[in-house]
Amino acid sequence: MQIGSYSISNNLVVAPMAGVTDRPFRQLCKRLGAGLAISEMVASSPQLRATEKSQRRTDHCGEVEPIVAQIAGADPKHMADAARYNVERGAQIIDINMGCPAKKVCNVAAGSALLQNEPLVAAIVDAVVRAVAVPVTLKIRTGWSPQHRNALRIARIAEDAGVAALSIHGRTRACGFVGAVEYETIRAVKQAARIPVIANGDVDSPAKARDVLEHTGADAIMIGRAAQGRPWIFREIRHYLDHGEALPPPEVEEMRQLILDHLADHYAFYGEVTGVRSARKHLGWYAASLVGGDVFRHDINRLETTAAQIAQVNRFFDRLAANADRLECTPAVTTTAASWVEEALAA
């Protein structure tokens, strides 16, 4: 897939996810087979640029190229300024967020709320494309409600403004993450578009990735929630697309080392206090389907130091390794990912 002057090594993209796709996680996903990874969204408001959170989100030091920064906002001038600012901070591709359905984003008329205002969509994408010399991409949904699907019109607006690629989550803003994904709409946009189209929504297995690519004709697929706690999904999909066969689950010792490497990078990025708290959700996701995962999650959320977290990870994997060389998953997970995060933040 080609985005502007950048040739992407494969057709697997890490979706931007607030609180998840920080630099350590993006680096890990790239190492495990993703061709492209998009940053957490960065607010376009100039007043927020100096905050610790924004500074981290625009820190791309040592990141595997091409570097993609996603910006969010509803003011064309602020969005243009944000694009320039992020390019100065190392971004090589700017992605515009018009897909986030979160209330706190939509309540300020940003994210997927923008899909209700096509003239403003045009003004924003035109301002951002004109502001920077790097490729600009756009993330959208199929519309703002099932009664108001306008992805085809938004795609034409984006193309006319010079957007280099389009990502589509196959649900409307009103649907959030519930209900069937509208792959037919993504297919229709791809058939009409002259730019690369990336399909997003409920791709959670190698076979699903193949089916979505074949059905929509999309140039690439974007994976979000399925990579939480399972970043090796990218190599699994890559292998399946290339060879038509499934890879075995990771070995226990490989997963232990992968998690320890992720933690080391995570702690270095955030520091001790913030690093320990923000690592809890990742550790909960890693252990979600593993035998004893619920007990591990409960314990890890009460630890306050990096050394204690690392020791707990090693104890957990010592028990797993004593019983099997490869991962063994429980038949069902009884606790939702959302509740793990809530518990981790409350601890």
As annotated, the active-site residues are 100
DSSP output for 256-275: HHHHHHHHHHHHHHH-HHHH
Instruction: Using the Cα atoms of residue 58, residue 80, residue 20 and residue 197 in order, give the sign of their dihedral.
Output: negative
- How many angstroms separate the CA atoms of 233 and 108, rounded? 34
| Helices vs. strands in the chain: H and E counts, helices first | 14, 12
DSSP letter for 74, please.
S
Q: ∠310-313-319 over CA atoms, to 5°?
A: 145
Residue 247's closest CA among 32, 36, 12, 14?
32
Per DSSP, 73 falls in state -
Q: Which amino acid is at 217?
A: G
DSSP state letter for 326: B
Report which of 230, 220, 204, 257 is spatially closest to residue 68, judged by C-alpha positions: 220
Alpha-carbon distances, residue 236 vs 45, 189, 196, 332 (angstroms): 39, 27, 23, 21
Report the largest interatomic distance among the alpha carbons of the chain, rounded to a whole angstrom: 61
Separation between Cα atoms, residue 68 and residue 230, nearest integer Å = 22
